[in-house]
Structure 1
Amino acid sequence: MRRLLTVLLVTLLVAAGAVGPVAASEPVSSPETRAGATAPATGSSLAAEAPDNESNGSTTLTLLTYNDIQTAAVENQTFPRMVHLINERRAAHDNPTVVVGGGDQISPHALSPLTQWRTPVAALNVLEPDAEVIGNHDLDYGFGAVENFSNESEFPWLMANIVDQETGEPIPGTEPYTVVERDGVKVGIVGLADEAIKSKTAVDFDEKGYELRNYSETASEYATMLKEERGVDVVVAAAHIGIPESKTLARETDNVDAIVVGDDEVEYPPQETAGAVIVEAEARAEHVGEVDLTVENGDVTAWNGRLLNVTEDVPRNETVADIISKAREDTLEDVAGRTTVPLDARFASNYHDETALGNMIGDSFRAKTGAEVAITNAGGIRSNSVYGPGNVTVGDVYNILPFRNTLVTVELTGAELKQLLASQVVTLESETGQRYGSEAQLQVSGVTYEWVGHEGEEPYIREAWVNGEPLDEDETYTVTVNSYMAGWEGSVLTNATRVSTTNTLYGTALLDYIRNNTPVSPADTNRIRRVDSVTAVRDISVEKGMATVTIDAPNGTTATVPDSFYVVDGASSERLAAESVTLTDGTIEVTFENAAFRRMAGEGGDLELYGKYETTAFDRVYFEHSVVNADLRASDSGGNACADRSGHGADDDEADRGQSANASATVPAGVPATPAAPVA
């Protein structure tokens, strides 16, 4: 691909009447797309139209691709439809056609805890791909299982750059590459992974004696060998590495013509980077990549391509549908209970903020272990679907929590608990944050906390409360996590004292909770509170039965979102909405009904004020608005004193406005407390 015949291309373009460069536009994809989050449809991206083979004697090779089937593997929906579509496209071409998968096909899914890889492999055998690459989730059952599912597969599994540290041999059951010949066209396919695979699976590479070699160097080595020694016409990298890394691979390697991508699960129609065509079909069998490569004299000289959508109009492959139906019918179709509210298992929702589903998952862990706190990683919540209101089946539950993770309860100090929460904060300014937005990446129970997602704002966890009380950094708390998290290398969990371990799967904990509490009605109770700016309180005053809190507007504030402002007791879910919000002269005035405001403040209680605003200070990626926070402290001392915790008066330093100065103010004892009805 890199050795395109310039003269031939120019001639072809002139003959075709082309006047612009042969290039593909950059992909149109949502910046908040997160592993599994839905990207906007981009349609076809056609580039460098292949010349008429009959007129110049060249051959067109068609490459059909898919990746990251995961939870769809045992759902009788998109997977059998995808198989039908691929077979349909195979039959539509008279030219040679190859099918290559981008990894993460056999896990996770609703049957992972029960039958592991067996159902997906049986279905893939019907599809008959020419090659598959090992993805991180294909290692969910360990290195030892690879040989088992490879022996049951009627196609090769590839992995070139994960090798035995001593012998250099690949994982048993895999090959570094394979060569496929179709109608005289020879195609070499190389399997690759990147460094992220080590952190995305529970397998300990060092313990098992394996090393991960540089994917670009490995790809160059095999691609050059395949071209020069094996005489292949086309080299395809089956690369479970994501789109940015695939662009790096294209720039750093020679002789790679096409890259079939998996892992980051974005919708990426075929695009050219540094002479290699890159394609990714998002995930969950929702798309099929189709790339036509024009091959002449052992080189790729032109290409075009597109993504095909797997819609409900596509028929199911009956054989695959039957395999999935029989696998599911014994257990997964049973109704576990009912939910009165939607259960949001979408990746974007659970990575960025708390969800009602995430809260229920944490509650189910605590119900099973009796721990004070429960924490689960957002990446362990799968399926990227919304369930209910209505019946929830066993299959739904195991699709949401499909891994074989069990529950582990440890002891952590308050300081360690805050460190664990902070370790998962993704800042807006980081590389990941620029792609997906700032993220908390956790779901919790028993703990409420504020997080700041900006560089230079450490500690990223400002405030935290455990079961209604301010977190004590010296206190010891029992914390339940899933076994995958318990093995996080370098985290506070690694050497934490283990109170208990259980063979109960984390999915089973949720299943039991739903069964025991049906109908369930989990809610978003504001356990995870995003904060962009912490500001000072200038004044709290009362007039005509209304309490007015005046705060400094954060730097760059251009507007507020009035109906988003509220106060809440630091540890509770009860909140009081503002009556009005006014932005003027660098301050924000927020008014509340005084009786309710005083009741919430209580004797010696603390209130937190939150609200959304528009600002020029941040270029938001995922969240529509930024969030300001101010601390209001009730006090018996009276007066309208306003001081932040660092000792500066709110009126003393105008330059502190909008910065993270943990500002707080006392709620004046002199504010009259009018009678009010009890809070339900």
Structure 2
Amino acid sequence: MSVQQCEIILLETSDLHGFLLPKGYASHSTVGHGLARVASIVKEIRRNHPHTLLIDNGDCLQGTPLTYYHAKINSEPPNPVVACMNELRYDAAVPGNHEFNYGLPYLRSAMKESVFPWLSANTIEASTGKSMFGQPYMIRELDNGLRIGVLGLTISYIPNWERPQHIEGIRFDDPVESARYWVNRLRKQEGVDVVIVSYHGGFERDLTTGQLTEPLTDENVGYAICEQVEGIDVLLTGHQHRAIADCTVNGVCVVQPSSEGRFLGKVTIKLSKNEEGWIVEHCRSELISAAGFEPDEEIVRIADEVESLTQAWLDQPIGYVDGDMTIDSHADVRLREHPLIEFINRMQMDVSGADISNTALFDNQCAGFGERITMRDIISNYVYPNSLNVIRISGRDIREALEQSAKYFELDENGEIAVSPAFLMPKPQHYNYDMWEGIHYTLDISRPVGQRVTMLERDGHPLDEDMTYEVVMNNYRSGGGGNFPMFKNKPVVKEIATDMVELLADYIRERGRIVSSVNDNWRVMSGGNGAF
């Protein structure tokens, strides 16, 4: 008797972050990634493979000025991200943590516009006990009778980051336990032949050695899913913005396609059928770079309406700078105080009434402010939709937080200060190094981790570790995000729900001109020598 064979092509995007068009928003430059380029790859593959599934693994609705403009300024046009995904005929999408950034009404509106299902087995409406997205999984049955199950899972660490009003009435169950229950149901009750789990989350361990690569929290549990849940053939991952392919964990084929449409994840599954049913004979993942593909014209056309409105809005002048707030070296900004960081901290203190503030330089694309400030400048420098919280913490908490930030640095073989690999891999975490205002401090990187704060004062006196202080910071950090447990569950003195981009724009607009200055209240050193 002849053996029937079948090949399935599984395509994944993840962490698109609203990057539809191959444009850089800080300037008008062309870049080699974005969904429009990925779309050309998808359409080419579909022409040659009849059994193809396309899944988005989360964090698609937030991340660019285009998505901010649609969510915050003018949401009358159809959601541009969803419209492009509809055009590409996505089979399903899984919500990521950033899907909640603009609130539940905006997310539900995007879901309503989608012609594809959103899948999340562990994102539960507390009032009903059911998935807020309607269904935990989908099943695709081919003409040959092959049944493919796709289970969606969302990172459960969201309550540690997100504003409470954005997730009110929602709970996030453990992804490992949810996977165990629903994969068993797909296999035993639904009788699927192939199980694909699309998990918006990444890996907590090295994929080769199994060694722990980050603090063992609930943020990333991809490795545990592969190790502890039987019956999974493919695990689609994301969140960490890593490029992972041609890899298996405990026999599970895994893939992660970086971010912003830099790659399309592709998994080829080859099956055969005998008298016992379908058997997966071979499974291999790979990444296809978007850089070599021209943008798809239809995606460009769909995105163009909101894109044109966004570009006009971005170029509106907000105010002016007396002095220089441009960034020449991102490394130098983190080694000695820069006028941009001083300004953001001072603004946070002014609008909140707090006497102490911290903030970060989020990435290495920030250009600072030139003489003329536009909305483009503000969004390019403050890339996350954060709000502000004032929390009450002890002097000891402040010292511990400074020690945590000091882990960002290490000494290289020449004794020079460099960025610790832990903040570069598995993804860059420049946003987890804070710089403070309202206190004076020194970090000595030649000293052991945990003993690097060599001077910590306020108003010319050593900071009292037993006293409490009111400190303003973004909502991500105040919830303990970025490995700052000393802030978690501390009393919230004040919440400022307005988005930071709006706060910055209003603050600059009201003043017309802002002054570039620093007070040099902190420094980073190496063995008694300044790092600059």
TM bucket, shorter chain: 0.7 to 0.9
Q: 1:157 to 1:374 in 2, by over 3 A?
A: same
Does the CA contact (< 8 Å) of 1:76 and 1:325 recur in 2?
no
TM-score, normalization by structure 2: 0.73
Hey, what does 1:674 align to over in structure 2? none
Structure 2 residue matching 1:322: 3-state secondary structure? helix
Q: Which residue of 1 aligns with 2:153?
A: 192
1:132 equivalent to 2:93? Answer yes
Q: Which residue identity does 2:376 align to in structure 1?
A: G
The question of 1:276 aligning with 2:252 is answered yes
Matching residue of 2:29: none
Q: 1:401 to 1:388 in 2, by over 3 A?
A: closer
Residue of structure 1 equivalent to 2:272:
296
- Paired letter, 1:315: P
1:308 aligns with 2:288: yes
Q: How many angstroms apart in 2 are the aligned matches of 1:199 and 1:352?
A: 29
Q: In 2, distance between residues paired with 1:206 and 1:334?
A: 33
The C-alpha deviation readout for 1:544-570, integer Å capped at 9, x for no partner, is: xxxxxxxxxxxxxxxxxxxxxxxxxxx
Q: Which amino acid aligns with 1:505?
A: D
State which of 382, 406, 410 in structure 2 corresponds to 1:401: 382
**CA–CA separation in structure 1 for the residues paired with 2:333 and 2:14:** 22
Corresponding position of 1:96: 51
Contact persistence 1:84–1:314 (CA under 8 A): no
Specify the code of the residue in structure 1 equivalent to 2:433: Q
Q: Structure 1 CA distance, aligned partners of 2:126 and 2:161?
A: 20
Distance 2:235 2:183 in 1: 12
Pairing 1:218–2:178 present: yes
Q: CA deviation at 1:284?
A: 1.4
Cα–Cα, structure 1 residues 511 and 294, in superposed 2: closer, same or farther, change >3 Å? same
How far did 1:232 drift?
Answer: 2.6
Moved more, 111-120 or 286-295: 111-120
CA distance in 2 between counterparts of 1:492 and 1:355 reads: 25
Rate the CA distance shift 1:273–1:455 in 2: closer, same or farther, 3 A. farther
Aligned to 2:64: 109
1:96 partner amino acid: H
1:467-486 alignment, distance < 5 Å: 471=463, 473=465, 479-486=471-478
Which range moves more in the overlay, 425-434 or 319-328? 425-434
- Deviation of 1:528 after TM superposition, in Å, equals 5.3
Task: State which drifts further: 278-287 or 215-224.
Answer: 215-224
Secondary structure of 1:58's match? strand
Structure 1 residue identity aligned to 2:200: H
Alignment of 1:577-656 (within 5 A): 609-610=529-530
Distance 1:508 1:520 in 2: 19
User: How far 1:349 moved relative to its partner?
Assistant: 9.5
Equivalent residues in 2 for 1:215-614, closer than 5 Å:
215-244=175-204, 245-297=221-273, 298-311=278-291, 314-316=294-296, 317-336=299-318, 342-343=326-327, 357-366=340-349, 368-369=351-352, 371-376=354-359, 381=362, 385-387=365-367, 393-409=374-390, 414-422=395-403, 426=407, 435=425, 441-451=433-443, 458=450, 461-466=453-458, 471=463, 473=465, 479-488=471-480, 491=486, 494-496=489-491, 498=493, 502=496, 504-512=498-506, 527=522, 529=524, 609-610=529-530
**2:36–2:300: 8 Å Cα contact kept in structure 1?**
no
Say if 1:81 and 1:310, in contact at 8 Å, map to a contact too. Answer: no
Q: Number of aligned pairs?
A: 476
* CA distance in structure 2 between the partners assigned to 1:476 and 1:417 by the alignment: 10
Offset of residue 259 of structure 1: 1.2
Change (3 A) 1:609 1:483: same
Gaps of 5+ in 2: 25-32, 205-220, 411-419
Deviation of 1:97 after TM superposition, in Å, equals 0.6
Structure 1 residue ranges without an equivalent (≥5): 1-54, 535-607, 613-680
Other structure's SS at 2:232 match: coil
Shift of 1:367: 5.1
CA distance in 2, matches of 1:279, 1:349: 35
| Cα distance, 1:466–1:133 mapped onto 2, change above 3 Å | same
Aligned pair in 2 of structure 1 residues 513, 234: CA closer, same or farther (>3 Å)? same
Q: Structure 1 residues 274, 478: CA separation in 2 closer, same or farther (over 3 Å shift)?
A: closer
Code of the residue aligned with 2:81 in structure 1: it is P
Is the contact made by 1:66 and 1:289 (CA closer than 8 Å) also made in structure 2?
A: yes
CA contact (8 A) 1:438 1:453 kept: no
Are the structure 2 counterparts of residues 240 and 57 from structure 1 closer, same or farther at C-alpha, using a change threshold of 3 Å?
A: same
- 2-side partners of 1:371 and 1:282: how far apart? 38
Name the CA shift for 1:526/1:295 in 2 (closer, same or farther; >3 Å). farther
Q: Which residue of 1 aligns with 2:28?
A: none
**Structure 1 residues 248, 503: CA separation in 2 closer, same or farther (over 3 Å shift)?**
closer
Work out whether 1:178 is the aligned partner of 2:143.
Answer: no
Residue by residue over 1:199-257, the C-alpha shift from the partner in whole angstroms, topping out at 9 and shown as x without a partner, is 232348997362513x2332233223323333333211111121333233222222211
Instruction: Give the % identical residues.
Output: 22
Greater Rg, structure 1 or structure 2?
1
Aligned to 2:5: 58
SS of 1:158's partner is: coil
Q: Which one of 42, 59, 84 corresponds to residue 123 of structure 1?
A: 84
SS in 2 for 1:70: coil
> Quick one: which amino acid aligns to residue 449 of structure 1?
Y
TM-score (norm 1): 0.59
Q: Which amino acid aligns with 1:385?
A: Q
| Shift in alpha-carbon separation, 1:96–1:345, aligned structure 2, 3 A | farther
Q: CA deviation at 1:65?
A: 0.9
